[in-house]
Structure 1
Amino acid sequence: MNRLQDFTFFSQLMANANMGWWKANLSTASYECSELILELLGLDQTGMISFEDFNKRILKEEQPPTTVHSFGVHQRPETVYLLDTVKGAVWIRSKICFRETDEDGNEIVYGIAEVQDGPDMASAYQALQYSERLLYNIFKHLPIGVELYDMDGTLVDLNDRELEMFHVEKKEDILGINIFENPIFPKEMKERLKMYEDADFTFRYDFSKVGTYYQSSRKEGTIDLVTKVTTLYDSKCQPINYLLINADKTEATIAYNKIQEFEEFFELVGDYAKVGYAHFNVLNGHGYAQKNWYRNVGESDGTPLSEILGTYRHFHPDDRALLIQFLDDARKGLAVKLGKEMRILREDGTCTWMYVNLLVKRYAPQDRMIEIISINYDITELKKTEEMLVKARDKAESSDRLKSAFLANMSHEIRTPLNAIIGFSSLLGSTENAAEKEFYNSQISHNNKLLLDLINNVIDLSKIESGYLELHPDWVNLTELLDESVAEHIHQVPSGVELLTHYPEHDSLAELDRPRIKLILRNFLSNALKNTTTGYVEVFYEVDRQFVRIGVKDTGRGIPQNMLEKIFERFEKLDSFAQGAGLGLSICKLIVEKMNGRIIVDSQLGTGTTFVIELPCHSMPVE
C-alpha cells in the first residue's frame, strides 16, 4: 500500500471501530477532526471547529472538575465528555497521543476519540487507572511492611516501609530471596504457608541471625514483629502469590512492658497499703478501676462501673446518701472534691472502714464528659487501733476512778466488820451473861467471815487481772458439789424462806474446777438469800452432751432491767446500805469467761431472779 491507501484504510478501520482522530492547533485554538467526529458534530467538509464552539457542545464531564475543557495547563491526557451531537447526547472518550511543533512554530496536539456505548465503560477504565495509581501509592507508602512472593517463595516486590524496617537500601538488594530459606521465619509458619493456610503470629526478629540471607546495614539487635501471611488467588481460585505483612511493635512492646511494670508495681503497693484507684465519666459510667478499688468498695473485680456508680449497694445507707449527693452536685458543677470516712457492709455481715477521696478532674458537660478521679484506701485496721486507743484511754481513766472507788469502798467495807469485831470483843470481856456472850461470839464470827470473804475477793480479783488465775479441772460429782454449797449456807436462810435443790434423776460427773464453782455458787446463794424474804431459793443443774448449766433461782425482790448488765461491774450494788463490796458478781463473770462459758440472768422486779452459768465441759453419768 502507498501512503494514501494506508490513510484511507486506517480511517475506515477507525470509523468502523467508532473511533476518530483529531488535531488541535494551540496557536489558532481550533480542532481539525476526522470524518467520524465531523459527522457527529455536523461540521462542514473542512472538519474545523474552534475550542470555544467545541466547549459549548460539552454537556457533562465524567471526571470533574476540569479547569478548562480544551487545552490549557490543566488539560488531562484522557477525558470523557458527554457531547451534544446531531445524534443526540453521545459519550466520547478523548485521549492525547503526542505533541509536535510544525514548520510555522505552531504547537500541534494529536489525539483519538472513541464513541462509548455509555459512561460505564469510560468510567470503568478511568476508575481502573485511578485505582491502580491509588493502590500503588498505598502499597508504597503504607506505615507497615508488605512483601509479595511468587508461588516458589521468591520475593518479587516490597514497599518502602519494609526496606526501612529491615535496613535495606534499595529493592534490588533484597528481591529474589526465598521465604522458605529465611533463617528467622518460624518453621511452623513456613509449613502453614506451603499448605496455603493464613496465619497471624508474633516473634522477635534477631538481626544477628540474618547472615548471608540478604544484605542489611544492621548486624545486631532485635525488633518485635506482628506478622500476617496469606495466599492470594486469581479469578479461577488458583494460588498466584504469597502476601506477607509485617508490623514493628517494638516501641509498643516497650511501652506495654513499662505500663505492665508500673501496673504491677501499683498493684503491689495497692495490695500492701490497701489503696484503690479508679477514674470514670459520671455521665455514662464508663471508666477504669484497679483491683483494690473494687475490693475496697465490696465489689467483684471487673464489675461494670455503671452498675456501681449511683447505687453503691455495699455502702452504709448514710454514707451512700452522701456519695450520691456529691455525684449529683458534681454533675451540676456545684462540687469538685470529697474526702470522707465511710463504712462498707460486707457479704459476711461484717463492716469495714474506708477513706474515700473524689476529685472532679475534667468538667465538660457540653462534651458529655465529667471525669472523676477516685482514690480509696481501707482504714479498718486504723479504726480498730483508734478504737483500742480510745478503749485504753477510757480504761485508764476508769481504772483511776475505780482505784479511788476501790480505796473508798475497801476502807468502808473493811472498817465495818473490823469495828464490829473490836466492839463485840470488848463487850465479851465485860459481861457474865451466857446469852449475851453467845450473841457476841456469833457476831464476831459472822464479821470475821465477812472480812475473810472480802479479803479473798480482793485476792481473787487481783489474780484474775494479773493473769495468774489458774484453773485445775477435775472430775466432780455435781450433786455432791451443790449439796456441799447448800449445807454451807443453811444457817443463813431467813425465816419464811426455803432452801431447795432440783437435780436430774441420775447423778453426773463433770470435769470442772471445784473451788471456782463453789466460789460462784457461794456468791449466787449469798445474793439470793440476802434479797429473798419469802418463798424459796433453789439450786439446780442440767447436763447435756456439750454443756453443764448450774444455777440459783429465788423468789426475791428482783433486779431492774436497766441494772442487769451493771451488776457485773465492780463495786456495783443494788442496795448501797447492804453489806458487801460489790465484787462478787464481777469475779464470777471473770471466772466463767476464763472457763469459756457465760452467765445468764433472768429477773423480774417483785418476782425473783435466776442466775445460770453455762460451761462447756466433758460430762458422764455416775455409775
Structure 2
Amino acid sequence: MEENKQTLYYDELLSILPDGVIIFDVSGEVIQLNRQALTELHVHPSVNEILPLPTNHLFKLLNKKEDILSTILQKIRQGEKTYSLPEHTFMQEQVDCTQFPIRGEFATIREKSKLKKILFFFRNITVELTQEYILNTALQRTRIYPWYYDISRSEFTLDDRYFEHLGIPAGENNTLTMEEYVNMIHPDDRQTMTDAFVVQLSGNTTFDKTVPFRLRRGDGTWEWFEGQSTYIANISGHPYRLVGICLSIQEYKDIENTLIEARKKAEESDRLKMAFLANMSHEIRTPLNAIVGFSDVIGSSYDELSEEERADFVRLISVNSEHLLRLIDDILDLSKIESDTIKFTFTDCSLKSLMMDIEKEQAVKSTSEIDIRAILPDEDIYINTDATRLKQVVCNFINNARKFTEKGYIHFGYAVDSIRADSVHIFVEDTGLGIPQECQKEIFDRFYKVDIFKQGTGLGLSICKTIVEHLQGEIFVESEVGKGSCFSVTLPFKRQAED
C-alpha cells in the first residue's frame, strides 16, 4: 500500500514537470512517460497502460540523420552515469513522423552500483529557436548588441557580433572581465558608465537613461555607442545579473558633426559675404573715382596740362579701368560658379605659346623694380585643357604676386611633374612679402584676404581653385614670410572622361 502511494506521488511529480521525461528499463524499453512527453510524442495517456514498449514504436533520436538512441543507451549500460545530447539533435515521434529540435540529458537510477532505470529529460526547443531566429534576424539588420553582466563572476558576456563589429578578438565564450571592458571605454566616459553601474548594482532603482560612451576599436580608433541596461534580482531583491544593449551611434555622431561643421561654414560664409558686400562698395568706388576724377581733369584743363601730366593721368585711368574690369570679371565668374553655368572648352594647348602670350601681356604693364618673365624649358608640352581658363589662373597668380612684390622677380613657367610623369607642373613664384603659415590653409577660401588693405575682392584664388578642379588638376601654395611665395597647379596631359 505504501509503495503504491509512493509510486502515485512520483507519477504526479513527473506530470507537473515542464520538460518531457521518458524512463527506460535496463534493456532499453520504455516503461513510463510523463504528461509532457506524451504531448510531444502525440500519443494518448493510455499508452502507459500497455508499457513497456520498444523505443522505435514511440520515437527516434536523430543527429546528422542517424538514430543515436541505441548508441547512447549502450554507453550508459557500459557505465556512463549521464549523457548530454549533442547540438542539432532532433526527436521524431512515430505517430505522424514529425521531427522537432530538442535539448536533453540522460541520467541513471542505481541501487548498490547496479543500473536499475534510465531517465531521459528533454525539451522541445522549436519555440526557443524560432524566437532566437527572429531576434537574430532583427539584430543582424541593426547595430544593436545585447549583453549581460554576471555579478558573482564579474564577467560580461557579449553578442559575438559585437566583437566582430569592433574588430577585437572574442574572449572565451564571448566574455570579457569588468577590467577588460572598462579599459576599452574612453577615459572621459568612464565616470558616467561607473555611475550608471553603481545605480544598477545597488538594487534600489533602475537606471533607465541611455548612456552615450566611446569604445576603442581594434584599429585604435574610437566609436560612439549608446547603452541601456536593467538588472535581474534574486528573491531577496538583490541584483545578480545586469542585462542590456549597446547601440552604435557613430553614424549619427558623424552626421551631427557634419551638420555642425556645415552650420559653422554657413555662418562664416554669411559673415564673409557681409564683409565682401561692404568691401565691394569701396573696391568699386575707388577705381571709379579715379577714372571719373582724372577724366574730368583732362576734359576741363587739357590745354593747361603738360604732355607728361596728360600721359600720367591717362596711365592712371588705364590702370584703374583694368582693376575695375578684374573686379567685375571676378563677380561674374562667382555668379557663374554659384549657378553652375561656368563653361569650359577643351582643346590641345601649347603651354609654351600660352606662357609667351602671358609674358607679352605682362611686359606692357611691367615695372623696373620687378623682373616679370617666363622660365620655360626647351621642350614644348601640349595638354588637353581650356586654354582661356588656364590663362586666367596663371594671370591671377601673377596679378596677386604684383600686389605683394615691391622688388625682385615674378617668374612663371611649366615642367613635367617629377613625381607623376603623366602630369605637368605650372608655377608662378615671386620674391614678395610671403604668406603666414596660419593663412595658407584658408587662402583658397571664398572672400578670404590675407591683407584687407590690399585691393581685391578675395575671390580670385577661390575662383582659380574651382577652375583647376574643373580642369581635373590640383592647386598648391608654398610660402615663407619675407622670402616670397610659389603658387602652382598640377594638370594631367589628358583629361579623364567624366560620367
The normalised TM-score by structure 2 is 0.73
- For residues 432-443 of structure 1, the aligned pairs below 5 Å read 432=303, 433-443=306-316
In structure 1, what is the equivalent of residue 351 of structure 2? Answer: 478
Cα displacement (A) at 1:171: 6.4
Say if 2:389 and 2:467, in contact at 8 Å, map to a contact too.
yes
Which runs of structure 2 are paired with 1:59-458 in the superposition (5 Å)? Answer: 144-148=21-25, 158-159=31-32, 161=34, 165=38, 166-167=43-44, 169=46, 173-174=50-51, 182=57, 202-208=90-96, 247=120, 249=122, 252-253=123-124, 256-282=125-151, 284-291=153-160, 293-294=162-163, 299=168, 304-307=174-177, 309-312=179-182, 314-320=184-190, 323=193, 337=207, 339-347=210-218, 351-359=222-230, 362=233, 371-430=241-300, 431-432=302-303, 433-458=306-331
2:461 corresponds to 1:592: no
Distance 1:487-1:297 versus aligned 2 partners, 3 A rule: same
Offset of residue 521 of structure 1:
0.9
1:548 counterpart SS class: strand
Flag the 1:490–1:320 CA change in 2: closer, same or farther, 3 A.
Answer: farther
Structure 2 equivalent of residue 576 of structure 1: 452
Tell me, what secondary structure is at the counterpart of 2:148?
Answer: strand
Aligned match of 1:464: 337
Q: 1:606 Cα deviation (Å)?
A: 1.3
Q: 1:391 to 1:171 in 2, by over 3 A?
A: closer
Match of 2:92, as an amino acid?
Answer: R
State the Cα distance separating 1:205 from its structure 2 match: 0.5
Deviation, 1:339, is: 4.2
CA deviations on 1:340-375 (whole Å, 9 max, x unpaired) are: 4333444456553222335565599999x7633343
| 1:525 CA displacement | 0.6
The C-alpha deviation readout for 1:539-587, integer Å capped at 9, x for no partner, is 1323232433222111111122222223333333333332222211122
- Cα distance change, pair 490–382 in 1 and its aligned pair in 2 (3 A): same
Residue 320 of structure 1 deviates from its aligned partner by 4.8
Q: What is the CA–CA distance in structure 1 between the aligned matches of 2:167 and 2:191, rounded to whole Å?
A: 17
For 1:273 and 1:163, locate their aligned partners in 2 and report how far apart those are by CA, in whole Å.
Answer: 38
Task: Work out the CA distance in 2 between the residues paired with 1:587 and 1:507.
Answer: 27
Amino acid corresponding to residue 379 of structure 1 in structure 2: I
1:528 and 2:401 are equivalent in the alignment: yes
The partner residue of 2:361 within 468, 475, 488 is 488
Q: Secondary structure at the match of 1:559?
A: coil
Report Cα offsets for 1:455-490 as digits up to 9, x if no partner: 111121122233333444433222322232232222
Output the CA distance in 1 between the equivalents of 2:349 and 2:399: 22
Name the aligned partner's letter for residue 327 of structure 2. L
Unaligned runs of 5+ in 1: 1-133, 210-220, 230-240
Q: What's the counterpart of residue 501 of structure 1?
A: 374
Q: CA deviation at 1:279?
A: 1.4
The aligned amino acid for 2:227 is V
**Contact 1:541–1:549 (Cα < 8 Å) also in 2:** yes
**Shift of residue 305, structure 1, vs aligned partner:** 2.9
Match of 1:108 in 2: none
Q: What secondary structure does 1:481 align onto?
A: helix
1:613 aligns with 2:484: no
Q: CA distance change for structure 1 residues 548 and 434 in 2, over 3 Å: closer, same or farther?
A: same
User: Partner letter of residue 355 of structure 2?
Assistant: L
Residue 79 of structure 2 corresponds to none
One-letter amino acid matched to 2:445: E
Q: Secondary structure at the match of 2:176?
A: helix
Partners of 1:558 and 1:604 within 8 A in 2: yes
Aligned residue for 1:467, secondary structure, equals coil
Q: Could you give the per-residue CA deviations for residues 190-209 of structure 1, whole angstroms, max 9, x where no partner exists?
A: 89969x97697632204257
Pick one of 431, 439, 453 that aligns with 1:555: 431
Is the radius of gyration larger for structure 1 or structure 2? 1
| 1:534–1:269 Cα change, 3 Å | same
Q: Which residue is equivalent to 2:112?
A: none
Partner residue, 2:389: 516
Name the count of aligned residue pairs. Answer: 452
1:365–1:414 distance in 2 versus 1, CA, 3 Å: farther
In structure 2, give the amino acid aligned to 1:412.
Answer: H
What is the CA deviation profile of residues 275-314 of structure 1, one whole-angstrom value per residue up to 9, with x for unaligned ones?
A: 2221103563434323554466554566643257544555
One-letter identity of the residue aligned with 2:91 = F
Deviation at 1:174, TM superposition (A): 4.6
Distance (whole Å) between structure 1 residues aligned to residue 36 and residue 221 of structure 2: 64
Q: Give the structure-1-normalised TM-score.
A: 0.60
Opposite residue 526 of structure 1, the aligned amino acid is N
* TM superposition shift of 1:244: 10
**What is the CA-CA distance between 1:146 and the residue it aligns to?**
3.2
Aligned-partner Cα distance in 1 for 2:36–2:234: 47
User: Could you tell me how far 1:410 is from its partner in structure 2?
Assistant: 1.8
Question: Structure 1: how far apart are the matches of 2:32 and 2:133?
Answer: 39
Across the aligned residues of Structure 1 and Structure 2, the Cα RMSD in angstroms comes to 4.6
Gap change, CA 1:611 and 1:227, over 3 Å in 2: closer
Amino acid at match of 1:274: R
What is the CA deviation profile of residues 256-276 of structure 1, one whole-angstrom value per residue up to 9, with x for unaligned ones?
A: 333333333333443444222
CA distance in 2, matches of 1:444, 1:245: 115
Q: 1:400 to 1:576 in 2, by over 3 A?
A: closer
Question: Which of 586, 601, 613 is matched with 2:477 structurally?
Answer: 601
- For the Cα contact (< 8 Å) 2:224–2:250, is it kept in 1? yes
Higher relative contact order (CA 8 A, sep 6+): 2
Determine helix, strand or coil for the equivalent of 2:296: helix
2:46 counterpart SS class: coil
Question: Matched residues, percent identical?
Answer: 29
What secondary structure does 1:288 align onto?
A: strand
Aligned pairs for 1:539-550 within 5 A: 539-543=412-416, 544-550=420-426
Separation in structure 1 between the aligned mates of residue 281 and residue 240 of structure 2, nearest angstrom? 71
Aligned CA distance change for structure 1 residues 453 and 222 (closer, same or farther; 3 Å): closer
The change in CA–CA distance for 1:404 and 1:376 in structure 2 (over 3 A counts) is: same
